[in-house]
Amino acid sequence: MGTENRTYLTEFILLGLSSDQHTQVLLFVLFLIVYLLTVLGNLLIIVLIQNDCRLHKPMYFFLKNLSFTDLCFSTTIVPQMLVHLVVTRKTISFAGCSIQMIFFLVAGCTESSLLAVMSYDRYIAVCKPLHYPTLMTQRLCVQLALGSWASGVFVSVIDTSFTLCLSYHGKNVINHYFCEPPALLKLASEETYRTEMVIFAMGVLILLGPVSLILFSYWNIIFTVIRIQSGQGRLKVFSTCGSHFIVVLFFYGSTIFTYMRPNSKKMNEGDKVISVFYSVITSMMNPFIYSLRNKEVKEAFWKLFGRQSL
């Protein structure tokens, strides 16, 4: 197919989550609050970990990376969504759509890998505590973080390349609130089977792979915790790992539902609502779930603001 036939479109129209004006006002207020909480929460986590030497541990190193990823993830999507909730013409250029898709996939796929790395870190801490300092070295932590970002870039390049290489002419209305591959495939003017299979394969790599590692880690953590004599020790471990698992359920459950189905062209209105969980909600939840009941983080917070540690 010649280059001139690949695309005639210069912009797309995003329908958003609702066409009702009153509903759009409510959604604007809701998502503005969610975005502000996301930015403030994740920035606070990054600042606390960076400035308090007591938090210079592998668990918090990965948490800092996760918070930065969530900032990128949310900022790629939510500001444009807020603008489109208050304007009449909800357009995005083809180039803007492509850039948004690239950064969305980089951040999303990196987060998927980081969540798996964090579960592995908890597995070593709980199941092999005596070997934890020698296994989770600073060098290994850096390598795991860089590997997570590299996997995000790799999957993003593959998915974006196959999606944007399709022909798009004629229809330019995307029934979604941001640009992601399953939504764009509905507008393609040619057969999308090959692209769907590539996206499915990348999903196996970046979603099912990390989920398998997470399930393995928690399976071993549960059996180790059951053998712990101290009830307080069991409660502490279940509290830490349970909060992580809540994020896992929200993020992977909604993402797998969207990206691991055989025919992406069968997306419906409900898919937009489901995508809110992995594209918006989890980025807000992470700093609260990981730090709300964490004594070390709370002590770092009071220290940062000049108050005596609790």
- 8 Å CB contact between 86 and 28: yes
Interval 115-137: pLDDT, tens: 999 999 989 988 898 999 999 99
Sheet holding 173-174, edge to edge: 91-93, 11-14, 173-174
Domain boundaries, given as residue ranges, for the chain:
8-304
218-234 average pLDDT score:
75
* Least confident stretch, 12-21, 22-31, 34-43, 110-119: 12-21
- 8 Å CB contact between 114 and 69: yes
pLDDT score of 7: 43
- 8 Å CB contact between 297 and 50: no
Distances (CA, A) of 118 to 4, 12, 33, 65, 75: 46, 38, 28, 10, 23
How many Cβ atoms from other residues are within 10 Å of residue 262's Cβ?
9
Instruction: Give percent above pLDDT 90 in the chain.
Output: 51
pLDDT score of 232: 64
Separation CA 180–CA 189 (nearest Å): 17
Q: Tokens 């790992």 correspond to what residue?
A: 241
The secondary structure of residue 310, as a DSSP letter, is -
Burial class of 205 by CB neighbour count within 10 A (0 to 12, 13 to 18, 19+): middle
pLDDT for residue 18 is more than 90:
no
The class level of CATH for 8-304 reads mainly alpha
- The pTM assigned to this predicted structure is 0.89
Interval 157-213: pLDDT, tens: 999 999 998 888 778 899 899 999 988 988 888 888 899 999 999 999 999 999 999
In terms of phi and psi (left: phi > 0; alpha: psi -120 to 50; beta: otherwise), the region of 85 is alpha
Q: Among 172, 170, 121, 175, which Cα is nearest to 143's?
A: 121
| Cα angle: 244, vertex 249, 250; to 5 degrees | 100
- 8 Å CB contact between 48 and 300: yes
pLDDT for residue 6 is more than 90:
no
Tell me which of 269 and 272 has the higher pLDDT: 272
pLDDT score of 230: 63
In a 13 Å sphere around the CA of 159, the CA atoms on its Cβ side amount to 33
Gyration radius of the chain over CA positions? 21
pLDDT for residue 153 is more than 80:
yes
In terms of phi and psi (left: phi > 0; alpha: psi -120 to 50; beta: otherwise), the region of 306 is left
Q: Tokens 């592998």 correspond to what residue?
A: 58
293 pLDDT band (50/70/90 cuts)? low
pLDDT score of 2: 44
pLDDT for residue 1 is more than 50:
no
pLDDT for residue 292 is more than 80:
no
